[in-house]
């Protein structure tokens, strides 16, 4: 059976998305594969502490490289690069800035000395590992890279492979922030989306924007209201909206300093126990039931 993907999204950062994803993963570690699709600033691994067993180079496109020994400093490449990716050093040698190069090859074509070659572009790394019995997949995109949507797709593919290898039916995905290309990529093949809303005006608007995306992709959504006592009026408004749109509200979690303490200690908040632990247990049970009923 194909694994079902539960994607955790929140729009902006700081709503508690990763804390929620890590807590559910920790509670269901005998049943799930965990994947971090926040490839630009992933921190799920900082809470789950997986041990990497495999590191894969993430290559994407090509990048121009100048042979400095043959470069005469004529400047033709700079003149023709539409992306302003090349600069001239003080000693008259052209230098390509890797993160700016779009790999169009034009410079290599115009260089009279034929001293520009196109080489594989290493944009980051993908890691496959485990936390105890639970497979974990995460990635690290180099700073300044703009192909995070593609890396998200690769992370999801590896997570599905791990689910099939270990015969697990659920993949918990810590999704990217925002609603752009990486989020769209994280939704491809998703089974259900857990929307984590911070109870603020902007948090509520973020959920509405995510829900528009879900409607577009015909995906079901579940709502978790985090820091629900920050703005009781917004919490009530979100619950009303959820009821009108048939979106189940899985939990309301009031603000707790334990959530912040957990992040500072590098553990999933569920491990702090108490009411927080109980809330996350309810969320995990709800997700398992939802999958049984709806898949
Ligand atoms: S490959 Fe294209 S973008 Fe890259 S340096 Fe050459 S001309 Fe510029
Ligand atoms: S076109 Fe070729 S020789 Fe001229 S500056 Fe660029 S790399 Fe150097």
C-alpha 113/C-alpha 74 separation (Å) is 9
Q: Please state which architecture CATH assigns to domain 68-114.
A: 2-Layer Sandwich (3.30)
> E strand or H helix at 163, and its extent?
helix 148-166
pLDDT digits 0-9 by tens, 20-37? 999 999 999 999 999 999
Cβ of 122 below 6 Å from ligand 1? no
Domain with CATH 3.40.50.300 in the chain: 4-59+125-294
Cβ of 92 below 6 Å from ligand 2? no
> E strand or H helix at 277, and its extent?
helix 274-294
Query: Is it the case that residue 144 has pLDDT exceeding 80?
Result: no
C-alpha 168/C-alpha 30 separation (Å) is 9
Minimum CA distance residue for ligand 2 atom 1: 111
pTM of the model: 0.86
Domain with CATH 3.30.70.20 in the chain: 68-114
Average pLDDT value over all residues in the chain? 93
C-alpha 138/C-alpha 143 separation (Å) is 16
Residue 253 gets the label, from left (phi > 0), alpha (psi -120 to 50) or beta, of beta
Minimum CA distance residue for ligand 2 atom 2: 111
Q: Does domain 4-59+125-294 have CATH number 3.40.50.300?
A: yes
Query: 225 exposed, middle or buried (CB, 10 Å; 0-12, 13-18, 19+)?
Result: buried
pLDDT digits 0-9 by tens, 231-248? 999 999 999 999 999 999
The 3-state secondary structure of 4-48 reads: EEEEEECCCCCCCHHHHHHHHHHHCCCCEEEEECCCCCCCHHHHH
Ligand nearest to the CA of 64: 1
């Amino acid at each position: 059976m194909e694994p079902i993907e539960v994607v955790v999204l929140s729009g902006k950062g700081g709503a508690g998305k990763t804390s929620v994803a890590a807590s559910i993963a920790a509670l269901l570690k005998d049943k799930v594969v965990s994947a971090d699709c926040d490839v630009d600033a992933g921190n799920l691994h900082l809470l789950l502490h997986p041990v990497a067993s495999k590191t894969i180079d993430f290559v994407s496109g090509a990048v121009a490289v100048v042979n400095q020994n043959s470069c005469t400093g004529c400047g033709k490449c700079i003149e023709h690069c539409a992306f302003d990716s090349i600069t001239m050093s003080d000693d008259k040698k052209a230098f390509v800035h890797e993160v700016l190069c779009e790999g169009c090859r034009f410079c290599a074509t115009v260089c009279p000395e034929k001293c520009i070659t196109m080489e594989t572009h290493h944009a980051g790394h993908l890691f496959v590992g485990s936390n105890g019995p639970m497979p974990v997949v995460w990635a690290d995109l180099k700073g300044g890279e703009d192909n995070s949507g593609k890396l998200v797709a690769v992370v999801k593919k590896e997570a599905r492979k791990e689910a099939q290898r270990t015969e697990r039916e659920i993949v918990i995905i810590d999704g990217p922030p925002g609603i752009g290309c990486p989020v769209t990529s994280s939704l491809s093949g998703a089974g259900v989306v857990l929307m984590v809303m911070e109870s603020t005006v902007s948090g509520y608007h973020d959920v509405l924007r995510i829900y528009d995306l879900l409607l577009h992709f015909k995906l079901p959504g579940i709502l978790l209201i985090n820091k629900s006592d920050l703005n009781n009026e917004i919490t009530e408004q979100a619950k009303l909206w959820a009821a009108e749109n048939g979106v189940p509200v899985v939990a309301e979690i009031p603000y707790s300093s334990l959530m912040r303490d957990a992040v500072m200690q590098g553990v999933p908040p569920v491990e702090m126990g108490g009411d927080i632990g109980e809330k996350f247990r309810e969320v995990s049970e709800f997700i398992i039931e939802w999958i049984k009923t709806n898949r």
